[in-house]
Structure 1
């Protein structure tokens, strides 16, 4: 649920409101702005114009890593994808004029529902096998996304599938170098070892890049279908197993201390990682023989993301005290990734 805006993350309403009323003239009523506090990277606000609720997303304040927090990419996807993938909310407006709020931003429709985040919502507590059903829904919506016809969705220019993973490795390695605050032997091992034997993709798909429970929404009491998927600024075209591995990196792992997870799966009777892999293979028909490599890469990427957030905290670019724990998370994911490669 939206809450008061965190200090230092306010929007300049004296410039924003007239801009929105000019470009979205159907909006009426007084404007009220609140903030969604659940995310850790992009900043998300609710704009209430009378009875009409919209969502505004912008990058975080401070220096931004190259290629990160791409609002133009998010708009491109969400202005086209909803006709082919119903869980995607529809984008209504893109602003690239930094004189308005100091950064690019996207305005999109507001979806209402339940997000599974820090505790199992009350609406799901009494439902039998709810953890398995929620997991099935998460894996199924991923499979549905990976089967979207890219050409029909007019998203063929979203990325260059050939060499996708190799470019990803180079990009995330560069981000690591720009964000590190200390040396990390495990990250250096992964940076050197992952490019040696890159798997060949079995399919070209829309890859979300951060598909996990807290970027999904369910209708109250309905655990069998993801009704909305959020946070599309990293989406591209490429190898769908990168998405599956990214989801697995947020799942409990016997080789990782749960205290090191920046976003922990809730307590309960949740299926293990092997269950998710089996379900995904069943839904998509793809082979998962090379999943250890993909999981190692996902750990590498997650370590970089955690380190970027931690660096912002160290440099004072954010006052969000939750960011302090991400330095430890970066070290833990690097260690886990190295173990996935068998070293």
Structure 2
């Protein structure tokens, strides 16, 4: 029987249970002879499963993560890197789950994978769950928890934790634009509007022309958003876990802030369920209040945040377009991916509108910064 937050494994994404059972035997706690697997239904990237060993009170549960099926971009979905990152982050930032076992032998599942501890809590996606609906202050509390956790992530001492070697922070912002521009061009499909209509090349040119120097060098989660937090079901102010560390590196913390604001301010998108959480929903922190909360906790200068928000929209467009390109090429059959091309185009349009708004602001008040 599946648990409330899991589902049966999707067709085509089943795991070879005999091989998995033998790979885990003697290496983790729990009865591997009573192994069962369910799937966590959220997310569009790595495949994430609930592995249960045994039954009853003595059963042990783990979360298994592996790369998506089919061809993936070079250096993407690197499970060994993610496992080793969590080994170092968990002791200094307890909201990061503890990794348990890394299996790099690709003969087991067809790709490296790892197990981490399972934490239990509430994940908020597009609407408040029933356990929060009766709490009138829940929207504000979880908004503040999101801003505070982002600031705490950026406060980790990367040198003391031995994390500086995760990336090359010098020149990080320029490499971000160049790297994501290359990924966009490789993933662009012929059913998108031409560049003169979509303005994707105009967005890239603007980002390159206005790239700021890094505001600081910190951990950067690179996919920090509300539904990557797990919250206490009885107390939405308490964070149980921060999930999905696959793209974490060291760079400019405001790159995280820009992407978080991209998610936080997003209204309805083509092909997606209307969101009833975030800056556009009653009771949640507005964009301005979210920024103020982050600044109060972190002490950071966010005067150039418009550039980081444009980058956030562009990065998210690239991510969903990469998934859509795999779907269109027949490398994955998941029907959830069918509208992602529309979403990518919408996000590029939002980035272009923000650029125009920033340029209008410069024209009106003479400000030198985007």
Normalising by structure 2, we get a TM-score of 0.88
State yes or no: 1:197 paired with 2:222. Answer: no
Q: CA deviation at 1:316?
A: 1.9
Looking at structure 2, the residues matched to 252 and 285 of structure 1 have their Cα atoms a distance apart, in angstroms, of 22
1:225 corresponds in structure 2 to 238
Give, in angstroms, the shift of residue 260 of structure 1.
3.1
Relative to 1, partners in 2 of residues 1:299 and 1:63: Cα closer, same or farther, differing over 3 Å?
same
Measure, in 2, the Cα distance between the counterparts of 1:243 and 1:72: 23
User: Where does 1:82-121 land on structure 2 (aligned, <5 Å)?
Assistant: 82-121=90-129
Q: Deviations over 1:285-310 (max 9, x none)?
A: 11111111101111110100110121
Q: Counterparts of 1:148 and 1:239 in 2: how far apart (Å)? A: 13
Structure 1 gap segments, 5+ residues each? none
How far apart are the structure 1 equivalents of 2:327 and 2:350?
A: 24
Q: Who is 1:46 aligned against?
A: 50
Give the equivalent residue in structure 1 for 2:364.
none
C-alpha deviation, 1:6, in angstroms = 0.1
CA–CA distance in 1 between the matches of 2:250 and 2:67?
22
Residues of 2 paired with 1:261 and 1:3: CA distance?
22
The residue that corresponds to 1:23 in the other structure is 27
Whole-angstrom CA distance in 2 between matches of 1:156 and 1:49: 36
TM-score normalized by structure 1? 0.94
Deviations 1:142-164 (A, max 9, x none): 00000001122221211111111
Query: What's the CA shift string for 1:41-93, capped at 9, x where partnerless?
Result: 11100110011000100111111122322212211211111111011001112
* Equivalent in the alignment of 2:158: 150
Matched, 1:265 2:284: no
User: For 1:104 and 1:208, how far apart are their aligned partners in 2?
Assistant: 21
Q: Secondary structure at the match of 2:316?
A: helix
Relative to structure 1, the CA distance from residue 165 to residue 262 in structure 2 (aligned partners, 3 Å threshold; closer, same or farther) is: farther
Question: Does the 8 Å contact 1:73/1:234 carry over to 2?
Answer: no
Q: Which of 301, 314, 317 is the equivalent residue of 1:300?
A: 314
1:1-343 matches, within 5 Å, as 1-24=5-28, 26-29=29-32, 30-50=34-54, 51-182=59-190, 183-184=194-195, 185-253=198-266, 258-260=268-270, 265-266=275-276, 268-269=281-282, 270-342=284-356
* SS of match in other structure, 2:235: coil
* Structure ID, larger Rg: 2
Partner SS for 2:177: helix
Q: CA RMSD in A?
A: 1.6
Cα shift at 1:275: 1.6
Task: Please say which of residues 5-14 and 164-173 is displaced more in the overlay.
Answer: 164-173
**Aligned-partner Cα distance in 2 for 1:96–1:192:** 40
With 27-36 and 65-74 compared, the bigger mean Cα shift is at 65-74
CA shift, 1:263, in A, is 7.1
Q: How many residues align?
A: 339
Are the counterparts in 2 of residues 252 and 265 from structure 1 also a CA contact under 8 Å? Answer: no
Question: Cα distance, 1:22 vs. partner?
Answer: 4.2
